[in-house]
Structure 1
């Protein structure tokens, strides 16, 4: 069965997941910056400062989106390779086919359940330690909280933002932007904490599964031609070994002596 190295891909995937987690935390904490800019705009009655706050938040979101896309691509490839390696491990009994290692991440609604089952398969059949299975549960629960919480918070914030005055003119209208950013921080903390827990748990899972698989791959030594075989003996049951050397057609060489002859 073919096997695939996963160590390098695991390092890249774990780094991308960590970068995406940090970038999301920065976007979640942006209201701390937004409220200061909104207060400055209210003091100066300057709409351009409010526009600047919107642009800064967009700039915060771009690195997160790039890191998320990179992490998603690397994680899907890593999951597929790690799942394919299970087919070459004696005693491994995965419950899902390698196709689910890709489709499980991409199909809507399915991606709420299947990735956790795939990771549970990888952990169980690679590490062989049941006491570590709780890591999958921690990752799965925090991942669901992050996905659902982030969408709920984003929708609620969009509805609140749509109710703001598009062109504020006085202190009261500028004050609504200040309150908007003040009230935006607390709801964002729930998906932010969930994202942090999910990111840490997933990085630990990637590293442990990859280390266990690479160890098994490194200890897998082929039975042939690595083992020495005596001439004329079978290399393995049912297969002939290398042929024995044929007898020499010439007489053996003997050292010359007085009155002797040199072998032909």
Structure 2
């Protein structure tokens, strides 16, 4: 695992209208909020089997319907889902701020490697369907610019980028499917089956969040090291 860099002043770059800004502080905050997302996912992991266990007894006829137990199971599912939405919004917002910061730095390191302007590092996330691949392309460009030799053929970090992006897309699609299935479930058996989907979605989401943390740390560490080495594009 890549260790987080020790915060030290990042030298400014004397290029007109451009200057490096350290992403380290933002990376710590993003990592912390992604950790909160994982913790909330674990609450969902606990709530889903509890709901399934309660409904198994009801549907099989081995247990009488207990309204208090039903309410507790329902509150656990609803509460953890609400916390998840709040955690994802907070983590996602700060991630986009960090993403824009490292994209701006990439413009300083190797502007010729960037296919889209820095504004796309924010706007691309809000374009339906296109947000499934445009941010990944921006991330690949940032990764390239953050390497010691951005114009070489290095592959450092590409595997992690692909793994994180694939896991994130899978999590996004599966979570929506699981949530809609659970919300539309009306009878005990349907809710029981939908809770299994919610449980699986939480597992995929945890995996994606962990990979996101590793990716944030990797890009931050690469940019930090490159800034300290003074490897930046010539002044225009």
Taking structure 1 as the reference length, the TM-score comes to: 0.69
SS at match of 2:140: helix
In the other structure, the counterpart of 1:61 is 81
In the other structure, the counterpart of 2:219 is 209
In 1, the alpha carbon distance for the partners of 2:212 and 2:138 equals 13
**Quick check: 1:150 aligned with 2:170?**
no
CA gap of 1:25–1:92, structure 2 versus 1, over 3 A, is farther
CA deviation after TM superposition for structure 1 residue 183, in Å: 2.2
In 2, the alpha carbon distance for the partners of 1:44 and 1:191 equals 30
| CA RMSD between the two structures | 2.6
In 1, the alpha carbon distance for the partners of 2:231 and 2:209 equals 35
Question: In the TM superposition, what are the counterparts of 1:192-231 in structure 2 within 5 Å?
Answer: 192-220=202-230
Summarize deviations over 1:56-106 as a string: whole Å, max 9, x none. 222212332222121111101101110011121147511121011001112
CA gap of 1:90–1:199, structure 2 versus 1, over 3 A, is same
In 1, the alpha carbon distance for the partners of 2:69 and 2:199 equals 25
Paired residue total:
207
In 1, the alpha carbon distance for the partners of 2:52 and 2:207 equals 27
In the other structure, the counterpart of 2:14 is none
Question: In the TM superposition, what are the counterparts of 1:1-264 in structure 2 within 5 Å?
Answer: 1-38=18-55, 39=57, 43=63, 45-90=65-110, 93-128=113-148, 129-161=154-186, 164=187, 177=188, 179-180=189-190, 182-220=192-230
SS at match of 1:196: helix
In 1, the alpha carbon distance for the partners of 2:171 and 2:78 equals 20
Please list every run of 5 or more consecutive structure 1 residues that lacks an aligned counterpart in the other structure.
165-176, 223-264
In 1, the alpha carbon distance for the partners of 2:157 and 2:231 equals 28
In 1, the alpha carbon distance for the partners of 2:207 and 2:168 equals 8
CA gap of 1:47–1:159, structure 2 versus 1, over 3 A, is same
The structure with higher relative contact order (CA 8 Å, sep 6+) is 2
Please list every run of 5 or more consecutive structure 2 residues that lacks an aligned counterpart in the other structure.
1-17, 149-153
Taking structure 2 as the reference length, the TM-score comes to: 0.77
